[in-house]
């Protein structure tokens, strides 16, 4: 029997349609957004991981808010509710255990998204 995580990995988490439409199909612009995303996300994930270790709710709130915009542009809709909840919990400075669980999901889906993006970006040279 498959686990939920392996089943989730069967389908893509990114939908590049929105990004392409937003950029008017301009490959150079799309590539610039993709490159910025690939550069920023690992830094943002590390910031959240560090903030969880330090129990710094304000950083969790701020970084989750910024990431929500980024993942929306990249069509990673499954992360929007995760980040929204992390942002709310951070703003209310409550439930670090729930934040940790959400962060596991955030890291897992982000890893898959970055793999998909690396494969996709060769289409925007």
pLDDT one-digit tens code per residue, 33-49: 999 999 999 999 999 99
Residue 114 lies in a domain: yes
Domain residue limits at 113: 14-123
Q: Are 35 and 121 in contact (CB under 8 A)?
A: yes
What pLDDT is attached to residue 59? 97
Q: What is the CATH number of the domain that holds 19?
A: 1.20.120
Ranges of the chain whose pLDDT falls below 50: 1-9
Residue 45 lies in a domain: yes
Residue 1 lies in a domain: no
What pLDDT is attached to residue 97? 97
Q: Are 74 and 19 in contact (CB under 8 A)?
A: yes
Residue 61 lies in a domain: yes
Total domains, the chain? 1
């Amino acid at each position: 029997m498959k686990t939920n995580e392996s089943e989730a990995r069967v389908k893509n988490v990114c939908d590049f349609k929105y990004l392409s439409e937003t950029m008017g199909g301009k490959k150079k612009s799309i590539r610039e957004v993709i490159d910025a995303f690939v550069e920023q996300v690992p830094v943002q994930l590390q910031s959240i991981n560090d903030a969880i270790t330090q129990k710094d709710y304000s950083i969790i709130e701020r970084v989750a808010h910024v990431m929500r915009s980024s993942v929306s542009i990249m069509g990673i809709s499954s992360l929007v509710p995760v980040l929204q909840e992390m942002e709310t919990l951070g703003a209310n400075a409550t439930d670090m255990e729930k934040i940790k669980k959400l962060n596991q999901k955030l890291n897992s889906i982000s890893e898959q998204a970055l793999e998909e993006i690396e494969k996709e970006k060769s289409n925007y040279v």
